[in-house]
Structure 1
């Protein structure tokens, strides 16, 4: 298969994969720190790079049922969180197309 191309981000604060330090997102793409993931605190981002998306599935969450895709680091294949494809509750529509990254799976990269 050949080498995978990875994007490198620039800015004040860059979040990377805790296992391989691949760049994932910047502080400017973060929308909220008030989320919970499967393993603790999580952040909501508008844009995340260097990921691979899994298959969509419906998942019952504390805010209702959502169609989500697990997301994985493109370099080391670590599960990082998920992407919201569809929210069924009208009050949760703002999440569609956004990403959850679990805090304990991120490191600050510079």
Structure 2
């Protein structure tokens, strides 16, 4: 499966660069959102952490587990790109990811965060334009340099998708991240 159907709320039915309309769904209420196999294949990513562009999705593989935008269900990140669950965003808990897709970056600005001064750029969902978190452009303290080029997405904007075992999801949701 290289594209998946999503049902879009009425306010989100405007054109989106990652949504294609057509068969078997018709009308603006349905769209097709790129999955990671399409994105990675089209952009030439071929690292050991990347999914193979020739593989098909399976419902039980850990490599298929993804996180999507809770507002429009666009794919955002793969579970295997999750670095840490121990971050704090402006709206609560947040995850740090190595790589994300279907997002755009705003202009970098300096912010004093819990771990010191950083240059960060807000990231927006390409489909619904919600501010999801930020990208670390530059860390000024040596101990924080590992964050540069990484992405924070707040849990308030994430939903687990594609291949999560139900018992694992229920157990994970009971933990205080």
Q: TM-score range with shorter-chain normalisation?
A: over 0.9
Is residue 73 of structure 1 aligned with residue 86 of structure 2? no
Runs of 4+ in 1 over 3 A off after TM superposition: none
Cα distance, 1:46–1:105 mapped onto 2, change above 3 Å: same
What residue is the counterpart of 2:136 in the other structure?
84
CA–CA distance in 2 between the matches of 1:101 and 1:68? Answer: 13
Cα distance, 1:12–1:3 mapped onto 2, change above 3 Å: closer
What residue is the counterpart of 1:106 in the other structure?
158
Larger Rg: 2
Q: How does 1:13-28 map to 2 (within 5 A)?
A: 13-28=65-80
Higher helix share: 2
CA–CA distance in 1 between the matches of 2:118 and 2:87? Answer: 15
CA contact (8 A) 2:89 2:133 kept: yes
Is residue 57 of structure 1 aligned with residue 109 of structure 2? yes
Question: Which protein, 1 or 2, shows the higher relative CO under an 8 Å CA cutoff with sep ≥ 6?
Answer: 1
1:27 offset after TM fit, Å?
A: 0.6
Q: TM-score, normalised by structure 1?
A: 0.93
Q: TM-score, normalised by structure 2?
A: 0.59
Is residue 31 of structure 1 aligned with residue 83 of structure 2? yes
Number of equivalenced pairs: 109
Is residue 4 of structure 1 aligned with residue 17 of structure 2? yes
Question: Which ranges of structure 2 fall in alignment gaps of 5 or more residues?
Answer: 1-14, 19-32, 37-56, 58-62, 163-177
